[in-house]
A = this chain, B = another copy of it.
């Protein structure tokens, strides 16, 4: 098997012409696409419809190319879009392909990029944000690891989860059945889903021992976290979708992946260390040619809940004009872009239990050296 990574930019969230051209040119086989991860130029908040618009545009293109329905595309391909290209960030999407053709020699035992995806069953609204949710995601992560032929959890470097949340309709249906919801507020429900995803990933990867996987730690033990989980939530899905990225000797990909936790929004050290993991040396010099090997960058971050970064006050939580998540994405995006000399970075906020509190993580996919 071979995994490949294709990065495209767009003029607007309805513009999928670069992918169309790559398919037309034979560079991307649409039947091989398993996931699309991207940043769109909305606000990244509840009323950001750029994610839905891009999803619809990609489904239209792929349905046409594959002669299937848009629904069928949605059941097969994972679409995860984070809104908000604050500061220097560039709207873009990364297409993950898996060519299932068996490969004779697989890099002589060398590990290369492995991709696995999985879907959980539909969860009942009353299970969202509870242990049932955590366990369901942990199972899906294990299934995706198996599909990716990764046996050792330390070979997993990035797990994207996209899960459902309560809506007014779903809450009403549950109440009619006499079921108890953890919350009926869609925004809080989204946060619960993110946290359930983080604990699910941590459980599956053994990042936290079983006794720490419990509901009373949600939102309180922020020092218990996964450093590979990146979780988002939205009304547009009913099941949890999981993509695992790692390195495996069973694959013959031209890419490898590495990751590092970021201790806070200023953790430039983590970025340089992750580059080092990939054999990329660019200390203080973003014109280093090796940076050209980077195929895809993913960052998780959040405004420090304490109101301080390295002992100094920040104003993100008090700003009534710009949402705190927009502030932090712009700042951390600016830092990572400066170090790697590329603005096409998937920077996502809402990092509860995903990396150290006030920090997050960085994962980088690069062409093999």
- A: residues with CB less than 8 A from B are 9, 11-14, 41-50, 52-53, 56-57, 60, 85-92, 265-269, 272, 283-287, 309-310, 312-316, 318-323, 326-328, 330-335, 337-339, 341-344
Contacts and interface: CB of A to CB of B under 8 A. Distances in A.
B334 A47 contact: no
B267 A338 contact: yes
Contacts of A285: 269, 272
A46 B87 contact: no
Contacts of A89: 314-315
Contact of A310 (B87, B335, B339, B343): B343
A315 B269 contact: no
6 contacts: A14-B49, A46-B318, A48-B320, A88-B265, A269-B286, A334-B334
Contacts of A56: 14, 53, 56-57, 60
**Identical copies of this chain, number:** 4
A328 B87 contact: yes
A330 B334 contact: yes
A336 to B, nearest CB: 9
Contacts of A49: 12-14, 41-42, 49-50, 53
B286 A283 contact: no
A341 B266 contact: yes
A83 to B, nearest CB: 9
A45 B321 CA distance: 9
Q: Count chain B CB atoms within 10 A of each CB in A9, A14, A47, A334 and give the residue with the most.
A: A334
B330 A87 contact: yes
A48 B43 CA distance: 11
A285 B315 CA distance: 25
Contacts of A90: 309, 312-315
Nearest to A288: B269
B331 A91 contact: no
Given A53-B14, A320-B48, A9 B312 contact: yes
B334 A41 contact: no
Given A47-B319, A310-B341, 15 more contacts: A9-B313, A12-B49, A14-B49, A44-B320, A46-B318, A52-B53, A87-B331, A88-B327, A266-B286, A268-B286, A269-B286, A320-B323, A321-B321, A330-B331, A335-B338
Please name the 7 residue pairs, one residue from A and one from B, whose CB atoms are nearest each other, closest first: A45-B320, A87-B331, A331-B334, A330-B330, A272-B284, A334-B334, A335-B338
Contacts of A341: 266, 310
A337 B322 CA distance: 20
Nearest to A45: B320
Nearest to A39: B315
Contacts of A269: 284-287
B327 A41 contact: no
Nearest to A327: B87
A203 to B, nearest CB: 31
B312 A87 contact: no
Contacts of A88: 265-266, 309, 314, 316, 327-328, 331
A253 to B, nearest CB: 25
A177 to B, nearest CB: 23
